[in-house]
Structure 1
Amino acid sequence: MSKSGFGQMYRKLSSKMLDLVVTPHVLGEVPTEAPAAASEPKQKVVCYVLQNHSRSNALVVDGETRRLKLPAALDPMHLGPHQEKASVLFLQHRDENNLLSTPPHAFPPRLLRLIEILEKNPDVDVELIPVTVLWGRDPEKEDSWFKLLFTDTWSTPSRVKQLVNIGLHGRQSHLEFHKAQSLRALIQYAKNTHPNSSPATYIVSTLNDYLDGQREVVLGPDLSDRRNVMHGLIKSVDVQAAIRNESIRSKISMLEAERRAIGYLNEIVSDYSHSTVRFADKLLNRLWTQLYDGVEVHNFSTVRELAKDYEIVYTPCHRSHIDYLLLSYVIYSRGLMVPYIAAGDNLNMPFVGQILRGGGAFFIRRTFRGNALYTTVFKEYLYSVLSRNNPLEYFIEGGRSRTGRLLPPKTGMLAMTVHGHLRGKAKPIVFLPTYIGYERLMEGGTYVGEMNGKEKEAESIFGIIKTLRKIERIFGKVHLNFGEPVFLDDILKQHGAENIKIEKNDDPIPQAVSDAVNSSAQAILENINRAAVINPISLLSLILLATPKHTLDEEICIKQLDTYRNLLLSLPYDNRMQVTPLSGKEIIAYALKLKHIKRVNHVLGDIIAIEDGQAILLTYFRNNILHAFVVPSLVAALVNHNGIIRRQDVVNMSCTLYPFLKAELFLKWREDEISEQVNAYIDALTAAKLISIEGENLVAPTPNSEAHHQLEVLAAPVMQSIERYYMTLALITQRGSGMMSTRQVEELSQLVGQRLSVLYEFNSPEFFDKALFQTFIKVLTQKEYIRTNEDNAIVFDENFSNIAKYADLVLDEVKLQMLHNITSFTDEELKEALEALAAAKAKKSQKRKKK
């Protein structure tokens, strides 16, 4: 059998197999042969134009052309003595996974042959009929989530996806023949208007643009085009320079260095898909309504106003893995474009990673210091996203908070965003701080384990399934609040950096810009806290965890809840902060429903207690809102401990401690504003009858009175911060000036903190959080209480020793003695402790290397 005969048999067999599962719906008008004009060539043949190379698409077009009695697409095409195997022309041949393989011709070979024939034979012409083939109905009308995931998008389908398309959507595929265009006329027009380029350049570009426009009618605009983005990035000047440097540095060929760069791009680049986003929208809509009691969104009008004129960079706090999904869901469901999300490469798991990528995620390694090629490729991709004015989203804290507090900022993504903006400004950039609050956490059990010393578990599909199987199906509401925007140009202007230009990808960031980055990070975190939502669970946690046994008489608990709410309403932390509208009684009923607390019945009055095993987890929700109460808590602690204290002493002590609390909790007031704020809280507590004023003195309520008990509960939230401060101060002073390095103090503080936590009825996560000790020592250095010598050891003078004396105004004698005892080490004990820390660190490092 001849080769052509075998081809025809293969075509017929394939067509019959497709006919069993595919019934395309022809849209629009079917092309008809117009009567020939006198000036037209004597011979005219038809050639169907498809965008992407696809055997199945060609077979579908061939089947429909035969059914409609049109010239068959896969029949040979005869032009005088010349013959082509088929009457189909594919505009694009490149594969997104093989950017290196450049075909011998930059244009479809069949098109080049046809152009050559027409130029030699003036009596022939080719009638080009563009054809659109789509698999699946309009995604808006798709009723199956699985089918919706595989409906047609702008991206070229893989072979596997095309097979799935045929199986799922064969009966709902669409085919449209567009208006025929004369190839000879296109050639002539190209010569007249673009004399310096080949006619093929104009023809391919024109037909691609035309078919893109037809697809856009059904699919919306092309927002992904991953293949073209990657191709543009790999050919950019800066990436090509980095590839040359990688070739020299690693002693590899240019081809191998380019393969590495393409590998990085495949690892990083998003693959935004309309169908994936719509699939996720349907799925998440059920999640929020079935697992949760819905999503409460505040201040979204801010987003809508900014979207018109600014490049929005969403910078939410990071509480849970579903933060990604929540924010995108809220934005998309309210009619705005889903942001491109910077996701850690730990989430680039099979299936999950592809879904996230389709929803706009691009992946970033946790660290890429020392990898110049990866750095250049990633920065170039980020620059391309900014240049296209796509909204961005990343977590300013880097990872998820395990304690419920905001973590110190990781400024890497922020710095690269500013760097890209200064390379070529498109729209002005605005950072949008976003508070996310939950009333129950999916990862709650994992967080508790990690804060108790267990190693962080690597993410996996099985881990996610395991978590979903264990969770209770009662999660309350999710709260999302958009905070005060941070305008980048304003911050740059404050630091005199508004006119700085950055030319190339690897240009360093000037100091003024670096200062602006740090200021932006601080402002973002402060504005997240300003937009906090005081939900029922966080408020109740704050109160119950402040009691010795985490229990309260129900009536007293109700009054305490109402007092806290009234304090927030009479003296709001910020006008963007949202406070639960529930009364104290309603809050207790709500928390009982979520199984965070239990009611213990008693003849003398019911008692509210934290459910067994929930205490550690509730510290997480308490810490979400701790910043809103820490200053009034400090005032309450000073008055409660001393009984009678001069008002000015309360103000002075608060001003001394405020810089440490501000750094730890990202409080919004400047240091020169805190005196006024402390006086305002004194007046508010006086109005609430929790303290009284006698001349220049502040007086605590009578012991054992209801007001005294309320003041004690209010005083508790700040105490652990002060205990940690005193503990670190005692460690430094006990060893003496110049005896320990900063790192040793941080690690020893954490170790002693873990020991101290055992003295509580539950392990308080704060004493396991090394970042809090690092922040405290950083502020001590900034305030010049301590400094480091040439040996990197901490040195101090008498002024530093005096700070510890302030603890007498807040901590009782028993607590001071306990803290003094656990921070007292002999030289031998200190040596053993530091050696144990070094050994544990080495063991952990070894485990990481094995992974």
Structure 2
Amino acid sequence: MDDQRNRDAAPDLDILGDQVTLHPSGYVVPPERPGDGDKERNLVANMARFRSHPLEFLREVSLHVSGTGWRAYDHFIGQPIFYPGFSENMTAAVLSTPILQKRITELALKRIEIEEKEGLLNKNDPGYEGKRNTRKGVLEHNLQELAEKMTGDMICKMESRPFIRGAYYMCTQLLTRAYHQEIGIHVSSEEVLRIRSVAEEAERKKQSIIFLPCHRSHVDYVSLQIICYRLGLALPTVVAGDNLNFPVVGSFLQHAGAMWIRRSFGNDVLYTTLVQSYIDTLLQGGFNFECFIEGGRSRTGKLLPPKFGILSFILDSILSGRVEDAIICPVSTQYDKVIETEGYVTELLGMPKKKENLADFLSASSVLSLKLGRVDVRFHEPWSLRGFIQEQQSRTTGIPKELDMKSINDVATRQKLLRTMGYKVLSDINAVSVVMPTALIGTVLLTLRGRGVGKAELIRRVEWLCARVKSKGGRVAHFGNAPTSVVIERGLEVLGKDLVGTVEGLPEPTFFAVDRFQLSFYRNMTIHLFITEALVSAAMYSKVKRGGGPANQRITYTELRDQVLFLSQLFRGEFIYPTEGLATNLDNTLHAFEKDKIVDLHRDENGNITAIDLSNEERAAGRENFDFYCFLIWPFIESFWLGAVSLMGFTPPLNYTGDGWLDAKKCQDASQLLGKTLYHQGDLSYFEAVNKETLKNAWTRFEEESLLLVSKSRVTTSNAKPLPLAQLAPEWMPKRDPVIGIVPEGRLWDFTEKIALSRREGKNRRDGATVSSRVLRLTDMLGQRLFVEGGQEVGEEREGGSRRRQRKVALGARAHL
């Protein structure tokens, strides 16, 4: 049995300081060594500390400074990146690209046309041609200088090998002190051997490996660079937002591989072309490249929808023929504990994001005394971007794969290709992600009824969840010979008393969630594995919540399919679904539920499913498995229900004379305030349902389906940015009664009630009409305040009206909610 398990698990590697350790069957508790006592053995043994072992510490520093052995980083796999003049050569190559020179000429000519219209250049002047050419030369020179300055600010400057050796040593010291457990940075030896083999082939063909990791922490930048350095791969150039480019730290990161880009390009065509030129230059030279597929860090714990900005540049490099090919490598980085989660909670509750600065960066050293567990990094099997494009062409057109890449000129085709690529990368990341012990504990604690859970029950449910994760093709962090109880103890230690509390003085240790909002970050790390089960369970709950006998809770296959379809459409921007399609996913889930004795399926004479019941076994077990799946998705259902309810408040008052447009940010703030009120009054079950990111996703979904109209006004804020405006679509507008206010009926109310069918039944929800009147009263109160305080009469100044009409026409062919 053990031999079989060892064959099933790929060998894993620990990367800790100077040592890479192979674990043939995953993580095995290291043997005791004299003098170790209760210390973290591998960490202390491999990373000497000045206070305890000053001579060993100095020896390690001297080895890194002198570049002894692997520390020299002389024979990495990839293109040369460390030599004097690297930055100057890269700048010259970027500035000389044909697309940039063409753009500079175009901009100069456009400026000349403006000057001609303004009379600054007279076409009737005898010396017009000479003056025009002189002016064109001056404009091109100025644009060239501007492009050179922007390039210097943007590009990474990996010029000094001694600097990189020192940076590696310092970052490893910091990381292995924060992420303390014996594993340190954990990778799969099988994946490492594969990526090294791919890197050797890419070096031979002078092709770039494009690492596309998920993004949960600033530590993401560090961990992948450390792995590449320690395993002898050329360090990638890392796309980073210029919000991190502050004094001292910005320069350090730029010399360690960071490429600074603006958070928004706006209409700056020169800057946009410059970014494309730099990416072209990197990919043409075969330099490794890294950008985060989600753009910013996920504040919720689950993958965010892909951001297509940098991906579009990469895709254009290939489609244009300027770059022959590049290798895509999706990367999953998982943590026992993410340093920033406490800050994420404050942001999700509506506090403005604090700008990064040096003082906060230095104060972050306090976290190094914490025990944050370990880091697991997994590499998906790399794939050819050119091969992916050709496969998609062949799939959609039937044209052979040898089709010329330049033939794709249709904008819609490119957008579809880009979207498919983005979601494929997310799917690949999910496929190799490892579920950490803290995620297991957080998921169990937030999917059980009751205030707390005993230790024995916690162990049982964690083992059950491990089995479910593996049955879904997921990966659980290797425990090896460590018993589940030990793993749980370590996980609880990492989470800390601020997240998980212990009730003292009881016959059995009993644990409870202290900060459910922050703990939901770790629960959300597992939801992608069970999204179809969660959707089906939530749809069944529309009947199960009725109570009574089994016959009263039975749901027909048609009713179940319709509600699953509705929820799937509702959350299609929130989750990544299996690619087999709704009908197949539904049937696969029902058959799996039947096999696990969660449901009984009723069939007709042809074997088709006609109705679904909870099984007697599941009822006897207290619905613990069925409830588990419901608990996973209920907070998201609550959040989207809250978003839909808040739309009711955007119904203009009877005496309102404006055009109905409101400040979109104030509307979102009002939605969040409504949610906090409903939670504290008992009409909302989950406080995490008021988080800003999920509500924003709900708003985006409502806009896509034309419930909500969003535009930009010429009225600007103090920082000269367009002011987003929002308005409830007229066809979704509820009626207003002079006495009762907003009437709980109509298209929007029916839509809200359809979401509510799958909401968790709470103590205050059985009074039906009272709930609707109370919720609508609060919604109307907050809505009227918006019209009084924030309504803006910007009808004739509003931009984008025609754009919205075109958008509605384009959306007409899509499946509506």
2:490 pairs with 571, 583, 590, which one? 590
Q: 1: CA distance between counterparts of 2:689 and 2:84?
A: 44
Counterpart residue identity of residue 639, structure 2: R
Counterpart residue identity of residue 230, structure 1: T
1:769 pairs with 692, 709, 719, which one? 692
Q: Which residue of 2 aligns with 1:262?
A: 148
Q: Which residue of 1 aligns with 2:454?
A: 553
Alpha-carbon distance change, 390 to 466 in structure 1, aligned in 2, over 3 angstroms: same
1:303 matched to 2:195? The reply is yes
Counterpart residue identity of residue 568, structure 1: V
Alpha-carbon distance change, 373 to 603 in structure 1, aligned in 2, over 3 angstroms: closer
Secondary structure of the residue aligned to 2:235 is coil
Gaps of 5+ in 1: 1-139, 155-212, 840-851
Kept after mapping to 1: 8 A contact 2:427/2:576 = yes
Report the CA distance between 1:731 and its aligned residue.
Answer: 4.2
1:831 matched to 2:784? The reply is yes
Alpha-carbon distance change, 398 to 593 in structure 1, aligned in 2, over 3 angstroms: same
Q: 1: CA distance between counterparts of 2:268 and 2:525?
A: 37
1:481 pairs with 364, 378, 400, which one? 378
Report the count of equivalent residues: 624
1:234 pairs with 95, 98, 103, which one? 95
CA offsets 1:396-442 (integer angstroms, 9 cap, x no match): 21111122122222211011111122333544233322221111122
Secondary structure of the residue aligned to 1:378 is helix
Report the CA distance between 1:719 and its aligned residue.
Answer: 0.9
1:330 matched to 2:222? The reply is no
CA offsets 1:89-148 (integer angstroms, 9 cap, x no match): xxxxxxxxxxxxxxxxxxxxxxxxxxxxxxxxxxxxxxxxxxxxxxxxxxx998266787
Q: Which residue of 2 aligns with 1:83?
A: none
Q: Which residue of 2 aligns with 1:158?
A: none
Q: Which residue of 1 aligns with 2:638?
A: 723
> Aligned ranges for residues 778-797 of structure 1 at < 5 Å?
779=701, 793-794=728-729, 796=731
Counterpart residue identity of residue 671, structure 1: L
Q: 2: CA distance between counterparts of 1:775 and 1:542?
A: 22
Kept after mapping to 2: 8 A contact 1:540/1:561 = yes
1:393 matched to 2:290? The reply is yes
Report the CA distance between 1:224 and its aligned residue.
Answer: 6.8
Report the CA distance between 1:733 and its aligned residue.
Answer: 6.1
CA offsets 1:493-545 (integer angstroms, 9 cap, x no match): 42569856669xxx998332222112211222232223221111011111212
Q: Which residue of 1 aligns with 2:164?
A: 277
Kept after mapping to 2: 8 A contact 1:726/1:807 = yes
Kept after mapping to 2: 8 A contact 1:739/1:794 = no
Alpha-carbon distance change, 233 to 428 in structure 1, aligned in 2, over 3 angstroms: closer
> Aligned ranges for residues 14-25 of structure 1 at < 5 Å?
none
Alpha-carbon distance change, 508 to 824 in structure 1, aligned in 2, over 3 angstroms: farther
Report the CA distance between 1:393 and its aligned residue.
Answer: 0.5
Kept after mapping to 2: 8 A contact 1:435/1:529 = yes
Secondary structure of the residue aligned to 2:635 is helix
User: What RMSD over aligned residues (CA atoms) do the two structures have, in Å?
Assistant: 4.2
Q: Which residue of 2 aligns with 1:430?
A: 327
1:645 pairs with 544, 551, 554, which one? 554
Report the CA distance between 1:646 and its aligned residue.
Answer: 3.4
Report the CA distance between 1:340 and its aligned residue.
Answer: 1.2
TM-score of the two chains, using structure 1 as the length reference:
0.64
Larger radius of gyration: 1
1:343 matched to 2:240? The reply is yes
Kept after mapping to 2: 8 A contact 1:332/1:338 = yes
Q: Which residue of 2 aligns with 1:608?
A: 511
Kept after mapping to 2: 8 A contact 1:692/1:700 = yes
Kept after mapping to 1: 8 A contact 2:280/2:322 = no
CA offsets 1:683-731 (integer angstroms, 9 cap, x no match): 3541xxx556688542266999654355434421211122223333444
Report the CA distance between 1:346 and its aligned residue.
Answer: 1.7
Q: Which residue of 2 aligns with 1:682?
A: 593
Report the CA distance between 1:659 and its aligned residue.
Answer: 3.1
Report the CA distance between 1:455 and its aligned residue.
Answer: 1.6
Report the CA distance between 1:471 and its aligned residue.
Answer: 5.3
Counterpart residue identity of residue 262, structure 1: E
Counterpart residue identity of residue 360, structure 1: G
Kept after mapping to 1: 8 A contact 2:662/2:791 = no
Alpha-carbon distance change, 359 to 520 in structure 1, aligned in 2, over 3 angstroms: same
Q: 2: CA distance between counterparts of 1:677 and 1:433?
A: 27
Report the CA distance between 1:766 and its aligned residue.
Answer: 4.5
1:529 pairs with 430, 440, 454, which one? 430
Q: Which residue of 1 aligns with 2:269?
A: 372
Gaps of 5+ in 2: 1-58, 116-137, 548-552, 604-610, 653-658, 712-725, 733-745, 793-817
Kept after mapping to 2: 8 A contact 1:651/1:679 = no
Alpha-carbon distance change, 825 to 486 in structure 1, aligned in 2, over 3 angstroms: farther
Kept after mapping to 1: 8 A contact 2:466/2:476 = no
Kept after mapping to 2: 8 A contact 1:281/1:329 = yes
Q: Which residue of 2 aligns with 1:599?
A: 502
Alpha-carbon distance change, 747 to 651 in structure 1, aligned in 2, over 3 angstroms: same
Secondary structure of the residue aligned to 2:215 is coil
Alpha-carbon distance change, 580 to 387 in structure 1, aligned in 2, over 3 angstroms: same
Kept after mapping to 2: 8 A contact 1:692/1:698 = yes
Q: 2: CA distance between counterparts of 1:258 and 1:732?
A: 50
Alpha-carbon distance change, 739 to 436 in structure 1, aligned in 2, over 3 angstroms: same
Q: 2: CA distance between counterparts of 1:825 and 1:289?
A: 50
Counterpart residue identity of residue 601, structure 1: E
1:667 pairs with 571, 577, 589, which one? 577
Report the CA distance between 1:568 and its aligned residue.
Answer: 2.1
Q: 2: CA distance between counterparts of 1:258 and 1:220?
A: 25
Kept after mapping to 2: 8 A contact 1:403/1:765 = no
**Which moved further from structure 2: 403-412 or 661-670?**
661-670
Secondary structure of the residue aligned to 2:545 is helix
Counterpart residue identity of residue 151, structure 2: L
Q: Which residue of 2 aligns with 1:22?
A: none
Counterpart residue identity of residue 761, structure 2: D
Counterpart residue identity of residue 258, structure 1: Q
Q: Which residue of 1 aligns with 2:441?
A: 540
Alpha-carbon distance change, 759 to 629 in structure 1, aligned in 2, over 3 angstroms: farther
Report the CA distance between 1:366 and its aligned residue.
Answer: 0.8
Alpha-carbon distance change, 459 to 556 in structure 1, aligned in 2, over 3 angstroms: same
Q: 2: CA distance between counterparts of 1:303 and 1:584?
A: 32
Q: Which residue of 2 aligns with 1:821?
A: 774
Alpha-carbon distance change, 575 to 702 in structure 1, aligned in 2, over 3 angstroms: closer
Alpha-carbon distance change, 558 to 237 in structure 1, aligned in 2, over 3 angstroms: closer
Percent identity between matched residues is 20
1:699 matched to 2:621? The reply is no
Q: 1: CA distance between counterparts of 2:601 and 2:100?
A: 69
Secondary structure of the residue aligned to 1:404 is coil
Q: 1: CA distance between counterparts of 2:630 and 2:536?
A: 8
Alpha-carbon distance change, 820 to 335 in structure 1, aligned in 2, over 3 angstroms: farther
Alpha-carbon distance change, 223 to 426 in structure 1, aligned in 2, over 3 angstroms: farther
Alpha-carbon distance change, 427 to 272 in structure 1, aligned in 2, over 3 angstroms: farther
Kept after mapping to 1: 8 A contact 2:238/2:257 = yes
Kept after mapping to 2: 8 A contact 1:442/1:468 = no
TM-score of the two chains, using structure 2 as the length reference:
0.67
Report the CA distance between 1:449 and its aligned residue.
Answer: 2.2
1:620 pairs with 499, 521, 530, which one? 521
Q: 1: CA distance between counterparts of 2:409 and 2:145?
A: 26
Kept after mapping to 1: 8 A contact 2:332/2:430 = yes
Alpha-carbon distance change, 836 to 576 in structure 1, aligned in 2, over 3 angstroms: farther
Q: Which residue of 1 aligns with 2:51?
A: none
Report the CA distance between 1:341 and its aligned residue.
Answer: 0.8
CA offsets 1:140-183 (integer angstroms, 9 cap, x no match): 9982667879xx999xxxxxxxxxxxxxxxxxxxxxxxxxxxxx
Counterpart residue identity of residue 512, structure 1: T
Q: 2: CA distance between counterparts of 1:684 and 1:277?
A: 55
Alpha-carbon distance change, 697 to 263 in structure 1, aligned in 2, over 3 angstroms: closer
